[in-house]
Amino acid sequence: MAAPESGDGNNGAARMVTLISSDNTRFEVEAAAASLSQTLQLTILDGGGGGGDGIPLPNVDSATLSKVLEYCIKHAPAAANGGAPNATAVDRAELERFDNEFVNIDQSVLYSLIMAAHNLEIEGLQSLVAKKVADMIKGKSPMEIRRTLGFPDPTPEEQAEMNAHMLEYGWAYE
């Protein structure tokens, strides 16, 4: 039942798995990092993804997947400790610095990332990106949000409704 060649990473080299993006790029990554994804974890525990097989991810393109894996590799050691007491303040500060920089990217990449994190069930990445996008939305007016999200211009009727709302709830626009 156990994958004999992997040796479960008990000694020597860590077990590696291969992930294949929607555009057929192959990524080789430590099983521990890929296991941050709840979805992949099950497959990997079953011995999948090793050898030449690889796990196909038809919903994630290579640009997004490489970004997702960057996150997983950085967070894998802390996740392996289960946030254990030996995680020092320095380690935590370093992860925080990484996270802040990590989400400092183009909106469209953020959107792809949150969808991928959702499909792969990577909780930490989901909430990190959600928080970033929420912060970006926070200060925006309804009109700016429509533009950002690519909605068509409001019809005269919609525009009238928006104006009426702004009159009634002026305090929310201050």
Contacts to another protein by CB under 8 A: 22-23, 58-61, 106-109, 111-112, 114-116, 118-119, 126-127, 130-131, 133-134, 137-138, 141-142, 145-151, 154, 158, 161-162, 165-166, 169, 171-173
Q: How far is the CB of 39 from another protein (least distance, A)?
A: 13
Nearer to another protein, 50 or 54 (CB): 54
Nearer to another protein, 26 or 45 (CB): 26
Contact 120, 39 (CB under 8 A): yes
Burial of 38 (0-12, 13-18, 19+ CB in 10 A): exposed
Give dist(CA 33, CA 22) in Å, integer: 20
Contact 9, 34 (CB under 8 A): no
Q: How far is the CB of 1 from another protein (least distance, A)?
A: 33
Give dist(CA 49, CA 59) in Å, integer: 17
Nearer to another protein, 8 or 23 (CB): 23
Q: How far is the CB of 10 from another protein (least distance, A)?
A: 37
Q: How far is CA 119 from CA 80, 144, 162, 167, in A?
A: 22, 28, 35, 41
Q: How far is the CB of 15 from another protein (least distance, A)?
A: 28
